[in-house]
Chains A and B, each alone.
Chain A
Amino acid sequence: MATDLRISNISKIYPGCVANDNVSLQFKSGKIYALLGENGAGKSTLVKILSGVISPDNGEVFLNERNLKLSSPLDAKKNKIGMVFQHFNLFETLSVFENLSIDATEDNKSLRVRINEILKKYNFSIDLDVPVLNLSAGQKQKVEIIRCLLRSPKVLIMDEPTSVLTEQETEELFISLKKFCDEGILIIYITHKLKEVLSLCDEVAVMRKGKVVSVSQTQNEKVETLANKMVGQKLAKIKKKINISKNKDEIFKVKHLNFYSDDPFETNLVNLNFSVKKGECLGIAGISGNGQNELFQILSGEIITPDTSIIFRNKEIAKLNPKQRREYLMAFSPEDRISQAAVPELKIYENVALNNFKSSNFFEKGLVNERKIKEHSKKILSDFSVNTDNVELKSQFLSGGNLQKLILGRELITAPELLICYNPTWGLDVGAINYIHETLIKINDQEKSTILISTDTEELLKLSDRIAVIYKGKLSKIMPSEEVTPEKLGVLMGGGSID
């Protein structure tokens, strides 16, 4: 029997954020539907509503024109809606079989028979009697899928299923999903990966800021058109105009940077020498684990190395700690936003106040000037288009992109002369990446300098004026970026040599 799922005027509002704004969609069995959107667009909220985990403030769900009351996950199960969450809902210490039997209504013997039938039919190979914690991510996902299949679902919802899978596992998943679809199961596939939508799905609905902005056939779409719909404006091709002029002052100069560590997980740095000019972006490329962590920590003052000379604005700063360096107008954006750049449990304005440099007036006579900090935080939120205006929000509730914007905003409070960032767009979606790149270019346009340590060659080629490659703790010669091609970078990053 054909299945027809209709969502009508669903709204869900959280404090400070409209997660779903009057969402209406229609799905029919025999097709695979994509629900596409950036992080925080409201996809996950919508599927949580469909699976009964949360209840909407408004709106209704119809299955074959029957109004469903989905007030708990049990209701969704009863109505044959199956859901595979992005973060698996498995019991790690229980065996695969125990995981599957926990909500079964039949006895263990016949359940085992049915599970084995499914395993055979879809060519899954999973040992039923090992604890789930011994399985790979792909196998865990299969257990989740089997759990849904055991209830012969009409609707199967997959929430960002490939984020934890290998290439091979992704292919296997796609084959299974197509099989399910042929058998008449309605499949809703949630993702922010454009290529997957094009290769797997028949129809695509794009969500942005809690609203559905477009529904279309995938065959009429391309990566670029989908990306534009997802982000909302035409993605401008960013290309920086390169400005190397010989006669500009060197604002930052590193000499004899050596670092030696006993820790086998750290990389030794061998005699690094480089300089950065006013208004210039120096890119440092490399595969991660070649000394970037150590380099960033030395430049920011977290590690002090003897015999190194770092001259910044004509002063020797090699012995200064991060706070003192900030007072000389340096700023830092570390790789790990959650544990190094921000404290996730603190509110937004408290995180803004963490860089307590003297000129900020955030602290007077040892007391916190909350009003001033909040005002300033509000300004950062709007200037850097973070998608909330609530400075009381805990930082952990910001998506990666918004948190990075907040961190950059905070670092740029002082109008620093030099910003050092390490993988600033790591794990972000297209829209946020574009925004961060524009911001970094703007900094250079204002005659301020940046050092960009990144593992993303495309990003480096886009933003840098000069590029060097770090390999096993050694720095290649520094090249003007118009002489650099991705191929050349690839060779150097792999330890080869050019010329």
Chain B
Amino acid sequence: MSLDISFIGILIGSIMASSVPLILAASGELITERSGVLNLGVEGMMIIGAISGFALMVITDNLFIAIVGSMLSGVIISLIFGFLTQSLLTNHVATGLALTIFGIGLSAMLGKNFVGIPGKEFPILFSSLRESIPFFGPILFGHSIVLYFAFALPFLTNYFLKKTKLGLVVRAVGDSPVSASNQGINVILVRYCCILYGGAMCGLAGAYLSLIYTPQWIENMTAGRGWIALALVVFATWSPIKVLIGALIFGGITILQLHMQAIGFRIPVQFLSALPYLMTIIVLVVISRDSRKIKLNTPTSLGRIFYKEK
């Protein structure tokens, strides 16, 4: 086992790449939840994003259209959720679960003709720097633009929520939709926007899987990442930076335990496979145990149906 410096650099680079879908989906869901909407359809929206991104790439041979299209497909499918929960006042939990089941089924149907088609190489940035700088090269350079965006996103989200007027409005709606409505804020509109934004980010997360991470279409290729993203949001107590930390730990231990399995450590495989879940929860619980902060970050109205008095 060669644990030289450059190997560790490559390892960290691959850990970063594997956490991108989690960061994207969880950051999107975080905004949705901060407005008081609990959308359990993350997995469904991701898989729809994955198939539509891949299909568009095959059909148009244009990666830009494929990426934008995957985000649009996320928006469209989350619009169904928004219409049901915000306009028809259905239960958030049931509707979100239905969305996931629907998304998985629909993607399998749409994807039938795309199984086995090879993907296209996605352009990477600064590839020459990646080779020339030891250790830092593979960490900082040679990634797709989506990865750079994903790593900036938690910070942007944090800035948006804490520093901007719109972010304040989103938090206010999540805290008390009735008060917000009485203050003249259009609660339904704000929640719609947050749901659609969440959908777009989940769509992008799916497209990252099918276009960049493992460029091909495989049925059910999100493999539960949507659920992990959902759990990350909760365990990170709705803090974008902690979502990033959680996603890196999860991605990191997933990759490390794969290496450990390959090397043949004398630890049961089942335990190693469970390790990412276990460690992520433990770390996030430990770093977010300040109960006062939890209370301040938790959207009080999460999952509750809001309707306007007439």
Contact = CB atoms under 8 A, between A and B. Distances in A.
A81 to B, nearest CB: 12
B184 A93 contact: no
Contacts, number: 59
B220 interface: no
A88 B175 CA distance: 13
Nearest to B309: A54
B296 A91 contact: no
B182 A73 contact: yes
A133 B294 CA distance: 13
Interface in B162-191: 165, 168-169, 171-172, 175-176, 178-185
Given A53-B309, A102-B172, A93 B182 contact: no
Contacts of A92: 175-176, 300
A94 B172 CA distance: 7
Contacts of B168: 94, 98, 101-102
Nearest to A72: B184
Contacts of B171: 91, 93-94, 98
A77 B184 contact: yes
B175 to A, nearest CB: 4
B287 to A, nearest CB: 20
B289 interface: no
Contact of B176 (A72, A74, A89, A101): A89
A54 B310 contact: yes
Contact of B172 (A48, A53, A55, A91): A91
Nearest to B172: A91
B310 A55 contact: yes
Interface in A54-101: 54-55, 72-74, 77, 85, 88-94, 98, 101
Interface string A100-113: 01110000000000
B288 interface: no
A480 interface: no
Given A53-B309, A55-B310, A102-B168, A93 B295 contact: yes
A150 B310 CA distance: 27
A381 B256 CA distance: 71
A72 B188 CA distance: 14
Nearest to B183: A103
Interface string A43-55: 0000010010111
A89 B298 contact: no
Nearest to B162: A98
A236 B180 CA distance: 46
Contacts of A133: 295-296
A106 to B, nearest CB: 11
Contacts of B296: 93, 131, 133
Nearest to B181: A73
Interface residues of B, number: 22
A350 to B, nearest CB: 22
A93 B310 contact: no
A89 to B, nearest CB: 4
B309 A73 contact: no
Contact of A89 (B165, B179, B310): B179
A90 B175 CA distance: 9
A77 B181 CA distance: 13
A48 B296 CA distance: 29
A53 B297 CA distance: 28
Interface string B233-277: 000000000000000000000000000000000000000000000
A101 B184 CA distance: 13
Interface string A128-141: 00010100000000
B175 A93 contact: yes
Contact of A93 (B169, B178, B298, B309): B298
B165 to A, nearest CB: 8
A91 B169 CA distance: 10
B182 A90 contact: no
Interface string A111-127: 00000000000000000
A102 B310 contact: no
A397 to B, nearest CB: 13
B249 to A, nearest CB: 27
Nearest to B169: A102
Contacts of A77: 184
A98 B176 CA distance: 14
Nearest to A77: B184
A51 B169 CA distance: 21
A240 B250 CA distance: 75
Contacts of A98: 168, 171-172
A101 B163 CA distance: 12
Nearest to A83: B182
Contacts of A53: 182, 309
Q: Which 3 A-B pairs have the closest CB atoms?
A: A74-B184, A89-B179, A91-B175
Interface of B: 165, 168-169, 171-172, 175-176, 178-185, 295-298, 300, 309-310
Given A101-B168, A102-B183, 10 more contacts: A48-B309, A73-B181, A77-B184, A89-B182, A89-B183, A91-B179, A93-B171, A94-B175, A98-B168, A103-B185
19 contacts: A53-B309, A73-B184, A89-B176, A89-B182, A91-B172, A91-B179, A92-B175, A92-B176, A93-B171, A93-B296, A94-B168, A98-B172, A101-B165, A101-B168, A102-B168, A102-B183, A103-B183, A103-B184, A133-B296
